[in-house]
Amino acid sequence: MYIIIDTNIFRQDFLFHSEFYKLFGEFIRRTKSTLVIPKVVFEEVCYLYEKEWETKKQVLKKALSDVRYFIEDNSNWRDDSFIKNIKPDYERKLCEIFLYHWEIIEYENVQICEIVRRAIHRIKPCSNKGEEFRDTLIWLSIIGFLKKDSSNKNVFI
């Protein structure tokens, strides 16, 4: 079975630590399902993860600064350069979570003219204002992916 997910699923728990997400990862492994991530979703999630990480680093730096204020001999607390060297590898983390039961749908085969046509004619998933480029790209990527193997069961979350 292919389980296709959108960005909002990742944003709720980037590292799948909650019980629900642990069960979700376990379900994928036990059923030998494949988690399918449209490339645009993967790129967006990596970007959002990086932004969240940067925010957390700033919070940590501020907390260290606050701790220094209260410590008389704070020489051991002066150096916060170690924070810069921490660079989480999100793709590797996903491999650990899903034990390589995942793949990325490329969007290079999606025709830009089809996205433009849908935007102009307000064809779903484009909105009445002709917006939703990203959603249309995801939608067309998924359709192209599913056309390759229509015999499989598929779920889009």
- Dist CA 140 CA 40 (whole Å): 11
For 56, 145, 152, the CA distances from 149, given in Å and listed in that order, are 41, 7, 6
For domain 2-46+89-156, the question of CATH label 3.40.50 is answered with yes
Asked if 98 contacts 9 with a C-beta cutoff of 8 angstroms, the reply is no
Q: pTM above 0.85? A: no
pLDDT in tens, 33-89: 888 999 999 889 989 998 998 898 889 888 888 877 777 766 666 666 667 777 778
Domain ranges for the chain, please list them.
Answer: 2-46+89-156
